[in-house]
Amino acid sequence: MAAAPEIVPYSQVRHDLWRPLAGVSRRYVAVVSLLLAITLWGLFCWGYQLREGIGVAGIRRPVFWGFYIVNFVFWIGISHAGTLISAILRLTEAQWRKPVTRAAEAITVFALMIGGMFPIIHLGRAWIFYWLIPYPNSRLLWPNFRSPLLWDLTAISTYLTGSTIYLFLPLIPDVAQLAQHATGWRRRLYRTLSLGWTGSDREWHALERAMKLMAAMILAVAVSVHTVVAWDFSMAIAPMWHSTIFGPYFVVGAIFSGIAALLIVMSIVRKAMHFEAYLTPHHFDNLAKLLLLMSLLWLYFSFAENLTVWYGNEPKEMNVFGVRTRGTFSIYFWTMVFCNFVVPFVLLGIKRLRSIRTATIASVAVLIGMWLERYIIVVPTLAVTRLSSVSGGYSPTWVEISITTATFAAMGLLYLLFSKLFPIVSVWEFEPHPAEED
């Protein structure tokens, strides 16, 4: 069944998609105020940690990685929503992608901004973060290229730069149209961002080429970034980390959580902005099928990783495996399996049950499960340091919990502000233009 925007006149499309930009409701102000308060509280907690030292966090011997690294891997995974989904759909010229791409691309940029902060938060002495930048210092010494922090900085900065460009390029035609109708500071902002766009045939063709080129480049960067994150673990000679499967395993998990995040955002946008005519059940059904596919791939990689450890029966790895599946962390492990496989398989695998509501429920479960997966990867290996012996535990403090909560609030806050400044659904893609006619 064709999506509704195909038959709606372009003038009506523009009116509908620009409507959320005008005015601010009390509900919007209330939600923004709440998210801002939570975000500021998280910044206060980080300031408190900077003043008192990293000791106020739950990080202690032998668990030197806790919530901060868990959140880092989680948010970098969420960032794959825009690049891989949007870029693949744009390169394959899938027509149903039009209302989806910008929502996905915005998730990528904001998730990278949030995730990229956690290595700095985890440093403790955040004011010397510039030591991670690969440049020769006054003593002509370069940073340690064996440090995963240097890899992360290089990969994330490249990914964030490319993703920001990839988000900005499709915005140009929309902000150029908005500049003609806006007034005051909005008019000045839109004119600056439009870069003098006039809508000529040459500009349309150049824009299409640039977007396809960036889509191809960003795909390679996205895969390499989460592979680098996987190397943070697999390059360490630690039980259940030193694995060659971690690269593709992390990439699959990133795409999995990214699709789930996109479905949740689309569901909220559809309801809050009354975009039922644009974000149709057809879009949710397609993304739900992708989510189900990634759930099966995730199950395969998880099974392969754990089967290899069980079959190898190496004592140190079996010790961690036992703690994960039968011991202290077993509740988290089996909850992860339930959220990442059982819930999506039942709700999305049965066609009669698959709907916008069930896709949203499954997506929430997947995000919970994927966060738990990151926790299961990080903490048990560090907590179990001797055979059949746990020499140290990990309990997050109020500082870590507050900062973690603040990151989710910051994601919502950034998205709300973005949706009030720019159309969350690309308007110009519903208008025929020379690049498409050719």
428 and 306 co-located in one domain: no
Q: How confident is the model at residue 401 (pLDDT cuts 50, 70, 90)?
A: very high
**What's the pLDDT at 336?**
94
In a domain, 27, yes or no: no
**What's the pLDDT at 36?**
95
pTM of the model: 0.87
Give me the domain span that covers residue 70.
Answer: 32-227+397-438
**What's the pLDDT at 143?**
65
Any idea which residue has 């210092």 for tokens?
A: 137
424 and 328 co-located in one domain: no
pLDDT tens sequence across 141-153: 666 667 777 777 8
Q: What is the mean pLDDT of residues 108-124?
A: 87
Contact call for residues 283 and 99 (beta carbons, < 8 A): yes
pLDDT tens sequence across 48-102: 998 888 888 888 777 788 888 899 989 988 887 767 777 777 777 766 777 888 8
65 and 135 co-located in one domain: yes
291 and 218 co-located in one domain: no
Token digits of residue 79: 């960032």
In a domain, 364, yes or no: yes
In a domain, 10, yes or no: no
69 and 189 co-located in one domain: yes
272 and 380 co-located in one domain: yes
92 and 128 co-located in one domain: yes
184 and 76 co-located in one domain: yes
pLDDT tens sequence across 210-233: 888 888 888 888 888 878 888 888
Rounded CA separation 370/295 (Å): 11
In a domain, 8, yes or no: no
3-state secondary structure 325-349: HCCCCHHHHHHHHHHHHHHHHHHHH
341 and 405 co-located in one domain: no
Q: What is the mean pLDDT of residues 191-207?
A: 86
92 and 130 co-located in one domain: yes
In a domain, 16, yes or no: no
**What's the pLDDT at 223?**
81
**Does 139 score more than 60 pLDDT?**
no
305 and 381 co-located in one domain: yes
Domain count, the chain: 2
In a domain, 2, yes or no: no
Instruction: Measure Cα distances from 1 to 29, 96, 112, 372 in Å.
Output: 37, 11, 35, 38
50 and 196 co-located in one domain: yes
Would you report the helix, strand and coil content of the chain in percent, each value rounded to 5? 75, 0, 25
Contact call for residues 75 and 111 (beta carbons, < 8 A): yes
**What's the pLDDT at 387?**
40
Those residues whose C-beta lies under 8 Å from the C-beta of residue 394, and which sit 6 or more positions away, are 58, 59, 60, 63, 66, 379, 382, 383
